[in-house]
Amino acid sequence: DRSIKIAPSILSADFANFGAEIRAIEDQGCDWVHVDVMDGHFVPNLTFGPPAVKAFRPHVKTVMDVHLMIAPVDPYIDAYAEAGADILTAHVEAGPHIHRTLQAIRGAGMKAGVALNPGTPAESVAHVLDLTDLICVMTVNPGFGGQKFIDMTGKVSQLRQMVGDRPIHIEIDGGVTTQTAPLVAAAGADVLVAGSAVFKGGSVSAPEVYGSNIAAI
Ligand code: DX5
Ligand code: ZN
């Protein structure tokens, strides 16, 4: 299904009210809920780990899309399966064995995602496409919400071509707004993560990033 899906990132939500924030975005009609896990090591910021993600699970009625910005990944895969992640995404830069990591994610019963930092070429995933359900193209250097969009439309088009007719989602993460969303959707992305465009001051404030604007692309 190549229709455009919106995945608000709760990184910009009120950390004391995740349950209510998740309900609010789902009431607005989001497709997935994007959960950013950061370890203060792979990226210079720290969020939460498996127990918190497990606590989010009952509030998420759609799809829980967990983006790991951690290294190493493999020791934690079972904990995120147990926490209820539907999709678990690891960075290709997080270790030398992305092939093994993707196999392990699927082996634990989740959909497997692979994320690419802005400096990482599309070719880095050429040999793992058959183990991949989602490719996350970072359009900021990961670590913080609210950063400026880095144009990766060339990489997105290249990946869309590489993917061919495999059922792989191409997700964009970072700096997605009503201005940048059409650019990446036209290049072939089908899942748009949006943090600060959706949450401002700890509450859902921009329902216009949903629905008509984006569905019309
Ligand atoms: C960045 C995270 C993103 C972030 C996006 O490291 O992976 O998911 O929350 O936030 P915005 O949409 O504000 O760039
Ligand atoms: Zn993310």
Q: For Cα atoms 72, 106, 160, give the angle at the middle one, nearest 5 degrees.
A: 90
The reported pTM is 0.95
- Are 173 and 191 contacting, i.e. CB atoms less than 8 angstroms apart? no
Closest Cα to atom 4 of ligand 1: 145
**pLDDT (average), residues 115-120:** 98
Go through the domains of the chain in sequence order and give each one's CATH number. Answer: 5-215 (3.20.20.70)
Contact 26, 33 (CB under 8 A): yes
Taking a C-beta distance cutoff of 8 angstroms, is the pair 137, 171 a contact?
A: yes
Indicate whether residue 64 lines ligand 1 (CB < 6 A): no
* Residue 201, marked binder: no
The number of the ligand 1 atom at minimal distance from the alpha carbon of 141 is 6
Residue 123 to residue 196: CA distance in whole angstroms: 30
Between residues 93 and 3, which one has the greater pLDDT?
93
145 Cα to the center of ligand 1, angstroms: 4
CB 217 within 8 A of CB 185: yes
- The verdict on whether residue 169 carries a ligand-binding annotation is no
Q: What is the ipTM of this complex?
A: 0.98
d(CA 159, CA 172): 12
Q: What is the mean pLDDT of residues 97-118?
A: 98
